[in-house]
Amino acid sequence: MTGRRIARLVRARRTARVALVAAAFAGTAAHADQPLWELGLGAAALRIPQYRGSDESRGWLLPLPYFVYRGAILRSDREGTRAVLVDAKRFDLDLSLSLSPPASSSGNDARKGMPDLKATFGLGPNVNATLARGAHWKLQLRLPLRGVWTVESSPRWLGWNFNPVLNLDLQAAGWNFGVHGGPQWAARRYDAYFYGVPSAYATASRPAYDAPGGGAGWGAGASASRRLGDWWLGAYLHADALGGASFESSPLVRSRHNLSVGLAASWIFKTSDGRVPDSR
């Protein structure tokens, strides 16, 4: 996996901040001949906003399971954890998953007195179109569209989100680098879950607010990772900008710019005897 997958973890609540940290940090650099699967264990240190638009952040120190599987259909590798449905030279279609952790409103001044945010999961198709490539770099347009539900005994449908990304991956001096960025959109129900303020929870400093859905700002990031023997190292930096977002006027948006950072290391202790060619 490249460090880009780490950045995917923290593109706000919609992409696994904590609950999917294992999948987000998993992976390694691609080589001409690779093991079918690899297992490892390590740790990840993250500093991320409690939600996009929050002016409060939280640090996480988490165990980091490391898993790579390079099957013909099911894969967990440098491109993410997915089921590949179509794999052509210029584009591929896969099913992608995203998760977000729960958030306690008692620990957030803007949401104090409101219901806690449940963990969520998203699932949907993702089209990856390769725009250009060289021996050590690849430029892609990624078009993930996901339906989102809460994680609880009776899951609630939260609508959809769409986060197209222009992504550049390159390899240099043994490192994998990634740069990505793009706009974001979300359904009204989705935005209402995170940014709506029902009248029952309105206060003098937090007026009632009905989130309209639509444009959700922009996100951009950079990442780096490297395999050193039996160790994998990774780092990311990701920024969100909410200027012009449809929910920008919500009283729950306390900051229009968020920054997330992370570092990780994993020890790979087991690899398969079977080998597969690099499908990059």
CATH number at residue 170: 2.40.230
* Cβ 55 vs Cβ 84: under 8 Å: no
Number of domains in the chain: 1
> How far is the C-alpha of 121 from the C-alpha of 158, rounded, in Å?
10
d(CA 48, CA 59): 7
**Domain-embedded: residue 103:** yes
Cβ-in-10-Å burial (0-12, 13-18, 19+) of 62 comes to middle
> Under DSSP, is residue 160 helix (H, G, I), strand (E, B) or coil?
strand
* In a domain? residue 246: yes
* pLDDT of 183 over the 60 cut: yes
What does the pLDDT read at residue 10?
Answer: 41
Task: Tell me which DSSP letter residue 7 carries.
Answer: H
Q: What is the pLDDT of residue 20?
A: 35
Q: Is 213 a domain residue? A: yes
**In contact, 209 and 249? CB cutoff 8 Å:** yes
Q: Looking at the domain assignment, is residue 179 inside a domain?
A: yes
For the chain, the farthest-separated pair of C-alpha atoms sits apart, in whole angstroms, at 64
CA dist 279 and 155 (Å) reads 37
**The pLDDT value given to residue 27:** 36
pLDDT greater than 70 at residue 101: yes
Contacts of 188 (CB under 8 A, 6+ apart): 159, 211, 212, 213, 214
- 3-state class (DSSP) for residue 223: strand
pTM over 0.95: no
- Per-position DSSP letters for 19-62, written without gaps between them: TTHHHHH------SEEESEEEEEEEEEEEEESSTT-S-EEEEEE
CB 239 within 8 A of CB 271: no
pLDDT at 35: 80
| Residue numbers of the domain that contains 164 | 4-275
The token duo for 94 is: 């896969």
Cα(190)–Cα(205) distance, integer angstroms:
23
What integer best gives the mean pLDDT of the chain?
83
Instruction: Say what the pLDDT of residue 96 is.
Output: 80
Answer whether residue 277 shows pLDDT above 80: no
User: Are the beta carbons of 237 and 261 closer than 8 angstroms?
Assistant: yes
Is residue 44 domain-resident?
yes
Looking at the DSSP bridge assignments, the partners of residue 55 are none
In a domain, 184, yes or no: yes
Max mean pLDDT among 17-31, 53-67, 89-103, 255-269 falls in 255-269
Rounded to whole angstroms, the Cα distance separating 83 from 86 reads: 9
Reduce the DSSP state of residue 235 to 3 states and report it.
strand
Is 241 inside any structural domain?
Answer: yes
β-strand partners of 274: none
Asked whether residue 149 is assigned to any structural domain, the reply reads: yes
